[in-house]
Structure 1
Amino acid sequence: MGPLLLVLLLALILFGAGFALNVLWWVAVVVLVVWLLGFVVRGTGTGGSRGRWYRW
């Protein structure tokens, strides 16, 4: 009974990690798209130069 529980626990941990990694990949893709769109839609500054779209 012990080895069976160990295998089930390992399968549950691996399933959870795989799901979390899949979600993190989608979050990374969304952040990349927003970051790239920031270069396209940023406004111009007072001197005609293109300013930064973030406030860092």
Structure 2
Amino acid sequence: MDNSSLAHTKWNCKYHIVFAPKYRRQIIYGKIKEDIGRILRKLCEHKGVEIIEANACK
């Protein structure tokens, strides 16, 4: 467990993010699913965020 800390506090934040497009679902998950995953991984790497688990709809 990797905790972040400041002078008088320690914390371990975890977020559950769901990307669920309501419209154009077949287009997004059919054609550009890999691109979206690549972009999200790059953004997380840039911000120093660790992805613990990732899944995509079929």
Q: Where is the helix percentage greater, Structure 1 or Structure 2?
A: 1
Q: What TM-score do you get using the length of structure 1 for normalisation?
A: 0.33
Q: Where is the strand percentage greater, Structure 1 or Structure 2?
A: 2
Q: What TM-score do you get using the length of structure 2 for normalisation?
A: 0.32
Larger radius of gyration: 1
Q: Which has the higher contact order (CA 8 A, sep 6+)?
A: 2
